[in-house]
Structure 1
Amino acid sequence: MSMYVVTVLFEVAPEHVDSFRPEMLKQAENSLKLEPGCHQFDVCFDAEDPGKCFLYEKYTDRAAFDVHLASDHFKTFSETVADWVTGKTVHVWLETPAS
């Protein structure tokens, strides 16, 4: 079965990096704990530029991702970091398992 994969690249203003990091980690933890359709939520920070944050998320399907977007914890996170983020790139992928 293929999974619905979402990658996100955040660019965070330098003065907000220290505040963004714990909020992002809390968001990942909440997604994994509270959403049965969220199977993976990796958070990576660029080794050279701490203002860049990359997410790799796996969901059962699009409906599970829609549940994520509608969740209270996602809405709270988005509102909290909105003014800290200077750029955001989102891509959607369909995982193709090897035979």
Structure 2
Amino acid sequence: MSYAVVAHYRCDPADEATVRAALLKAREQTRAEPANEGYEVHAVEGQPGGFLLYERYTDRAGFEAHKASGHFRELVVGAVWPLLTERSVTFAEVL
């Protein structure tokens, strides 16, 4: 059964280009992970600095492997998270 992650991120509009670039780079590297089934980055309409991420993995272990990857730690934890003003994440099993 697939495992889904939906993340809502918001940053100051002045940091939007930096966050977008890091998320798009993370997307490309995450899609190459063996357990990744999809990784989409969306700009939230009408919300400057707003992003929505939709990720799918083969299972929870695949997501945990993603979180342990060097590119996640470098791009998301190191570059994106420090610039966020809001962050929420929902985890779910795909039915």
**Does TM-score exceed 0.5, indicating one fold?**
yes
Q: TM-score, normalised by structure 1?
A: 0.90
- The match for 1:71 is 69
Q: TM-score, normalised by structure 2?
A: 0.94
- Alpha-carbon distance in 2 for matches of 1:6, 1:84: 20
Larger Rg: 1
Please report how far the alpha carbon of residue 83 of structure 1 lies from its aligned counterpart in structure 2 after TM superposition: 2.3
Q: In structure 2, the residue corresponding to 1:73 is in which secondary structure?
A: helix
> Given residue 16 of structure 1, which amino acid in structure 2 is its aligned partner?
D
Gaps of 5+ in 1: none
Q: What percentage of aligned pairs have identical amino acids?
A: 31
- Cα deviation code 1:2-60 (max 9, x no counterpart): 21000000011121001111111111110002x11011001110121131100110000
- Alpha-carbon distance in 2 for matches of 1:29, 1:48: 26
- The match for 1:41 is 39
Kindly report which structure 2 residues correspond to 1:5-44, keeping only aligned pairs within 5 A, or say none. Answer: 5-33=4-32, 35-44=33-42
Runs of at least 4 residues of structure 1 off by over 2 A?
Answer: none
Give the number of equivalent residue pairs: 94
Gaps of 5+ in 2: none
- Cα deviation code 1:72-92 (max 9, x no counterpart): 000001111232111110001
